[in-house]
């Protein structure tokens, strides 16, 4: 199992945001997470690489329990890529430097070795000509594709996406989704929080519907979108579809 | 040409230039230490440890809540008394600038680091960088750029503050001017030139900073 989550609880102060999440993600599986705003989707995703401290429960990444205090969290994070809604590119570094920073500082590659890793990735996201520009000169869609390349440069085993297209102008969404689709086809294990129901339906192997800090319903896309069982799922889908 | 070389405006200059050198030395060396103090206490103010945060906050508030004139007198007379040693005037001045500017720079550092979007740290951590690497390669370079205008501003403030050291007879710019008119009674000429000397440093600095600021804005 790539990811196992058992009875995950997360509170901010006295407010419990995740109220007992159980989930598993198999190798090469693409799991999409949908649900209303504030239901805890981002918090759940961020617990998977400990950007949020877990209050109780277990999160296992390829068998490594993240809640074990002895765990080397930096090593685990280098195996788990994360793509953010607002890209979070490093503005003081060129596209190339954004991508090579991790391989150089974390994996200890030389600059040249890191560039050899980065070039095919830039090609893959369609931005070979942008290696030497700074992020500010890129469109949102280009930024997000650089962010994906930056994560991939660490050769992660798992990729987490938190609404990667929801800060983009509609006409730029397609390029980013296309890159994600390619990744899925190549067999990357992915957890994708998304408002793009079309993407979830087409690319997702499984869809989780979250509401009020728990997973209300999960199923293959055909069933969850075509024949939702839980009334909350039905209500949510009737609003967004 | 005699009317120029005979004038007080001209004759005060050698003393003022000497004073200016001391002013710049005290400001420069003081600010180097002030920057080190500011960086240490600025990061301390961002610490999760209550004790470290508390110590840094006391330092910042004490310095910002008391006049620098009291601070220099405290260091020069008070500390000498307490320790039973004579602190040299220049050393006392440098310490005073360092401690005083250190507190303001701590706030500059804290504000600049704090102003960097939280997502930057998260992105750094999520590619596997340690906390220290993230600070060093991602947060600090961005924060430092934002610190340049306020640090320049602090330079101007500290430079002007050195004039207060005339009360302990440090041979800085203002004191040298005072010495001159004490002997010649040419107060107007001497003080005019003193002010011009300050402006020669502060105005170009301000102009340069405004340019930097504009460049950082876009
Ligand atoms: N750092 C935090 N401190 C306090 N409360 C938080 C924090 N982060 C999230 N929350 C709260 O936790 C709840 C779940 O937030 P979360 O961001 O996980 O929701 P979401 O499902 O991702 O929503 P959206 O679709 O709007 O992104 C919200 O009520 C939010 O206000
Ligand atoms: Mg969210």
Nearest alpha carbon to residue A100 among B142, B127, B120, B131: B127
Confidence of residue A32 (pLDDT cuts 50, 70, 90): very high
Question: Tell me, what's the pLDDT at B178?
Answer: 96
Per-residue model confidence (pLDDT) at position B179: 96
pLDDT tens track for B30-89: 999 999 999 999 999 999 999 999 999 999 999 999 999 999 999 999 988 898 888 999
Q: What is the mean pLDDT of residues A221-226?
A: 96
Quick one: how far is CA A170 from the chain centroid?
Answer: 20
Substitution target in B112, B115, B128 with the highest count of A β-carbons within 10 Å is B128
Closest CA to A150 of A125, A182, A175: A125
Residues in A whose CB is inside 8 Å of some CB of B read: 49, 51, 74-75, 77-78, 80-82, 84, 86, 88-92, 101-102, 105-106, 147, 150-151, 153-154
Q: Which residues line ligand 1 (CB under 6 A)?
A: A 12, 17, 35, 37-43
Of residues A77, A91, A148, A135, the one with CA closest to residue B117: A91
pTM, two decimals, is 0.89
Band (A208; pLDDT cuts 50, 70, 90): very high
Q: What is the mean pLDDT of residues A135-158?
A: 97
| Average pLDDT value over all residues in chain A | 96
Q: Are strands A64-65 and A214-219 parallel, antiparallel or unpaired?
A: unpaired
Tell whether the model's pLDDT for residue B2 goes beyond 90.
no
Q: What pLDDT, on the 0 to 100 scale, is given for residue A197? A: 95
For the CA of A41, the nearest atom of ligand 1: 21
- Summarize pLDDT for A53-74 with one digit per residue, the tens: 999 999 999 999 999 999 999 9
Q: Facing residues of A80 across strands? A: A158
């Amino acid at each position: 199992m790539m990811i196992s989550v058992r009875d995950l609880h997360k509170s901010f102060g006295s407010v419990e945001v995740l109220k007992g999440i159980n989930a598993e993600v198999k190798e090469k599986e693409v799991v999409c997470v949908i649900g209303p705003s504030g239901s805890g989707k981002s918090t759940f995703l961020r617990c998977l690489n400990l950007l949020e401290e877990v209050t109780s429960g277990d999160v296992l990444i390829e068998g490594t329990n993240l809640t074990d205090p002895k765990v080397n969290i930096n090593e685990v994070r280098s195996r788990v890529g994360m793509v953010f809604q607002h890209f979070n590119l490093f503005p003081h570094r060129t596209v190339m430097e954004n991508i090579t920073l991790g391989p150089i500082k974390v994996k200890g590659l030389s600059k040249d070795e890191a560039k050899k890793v980065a070039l095919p990735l830039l090609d893959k996201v369609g931005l070979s000509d942008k290696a030497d520009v700074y992020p500010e000169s890129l469109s949102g869609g280009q930024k997000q594709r650089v962010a994906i390349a930056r994560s991939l440069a660490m050769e992660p085993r798992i990729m987490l996406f938190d609404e990667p297209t929801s800060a983009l102008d509609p006409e730029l969404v397609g390029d980013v989704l296309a890159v994600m689709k390619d990744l899925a086809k190549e067999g990357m294990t992915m957890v994708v929080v998304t408002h793009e129901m079309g993407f979830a339906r087409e690319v997702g192997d499984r869809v989780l519907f979250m509401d009020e800090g728990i997973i209300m319903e999960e199923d293959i896309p055909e069933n969850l979108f075509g024949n939702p069982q839980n009334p909350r799922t039905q209500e949510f889908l009737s609003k967004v579809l | 040409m005699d009317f120029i070389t005979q004038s007080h405006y001209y004759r005060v200059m050698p003393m003022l230039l000497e004073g200016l050198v001391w002013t710049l030395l005290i400001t420069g060396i003081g600010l180097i230490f002030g920057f080190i103090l500011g960086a240490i206490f600025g990061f301390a103010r961002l610490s999760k440890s209550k004790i470290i945060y508390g110590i840094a906050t006391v330092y910042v508030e004490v310095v910002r809540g008391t006049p620098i004139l009291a601070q220099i007198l405290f260091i020069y007379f008070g500390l000498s008394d307490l320790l039973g040693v004579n602190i040299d005037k220049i050393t006392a001045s440098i310490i005073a600038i360092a401690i005083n500017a250190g507190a303001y720079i701590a706030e500059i550092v804290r504000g600049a680091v704090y102003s960097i979007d939280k997502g930057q740290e998260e992105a750094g951590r999520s590619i596997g960088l340690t906390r220290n690497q993230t600070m060093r390669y991602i947060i600090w370079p961005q924060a430092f750029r934002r610190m340049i205008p306020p640090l320049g501003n602090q330079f101007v403030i500290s430079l002007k503050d050195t004039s207060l050291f005339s009360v302990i007879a440090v041979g800085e710019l203002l004191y040298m001017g005072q010495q001159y008119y004490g002997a010649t009674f040419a107060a107007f000429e001497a003080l005019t030139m003193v002010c011009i000397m300050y402006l020669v440093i502060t105005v170009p600095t301000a102009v340069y900073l405004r340019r930097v600021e504009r460049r950082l804005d876009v």
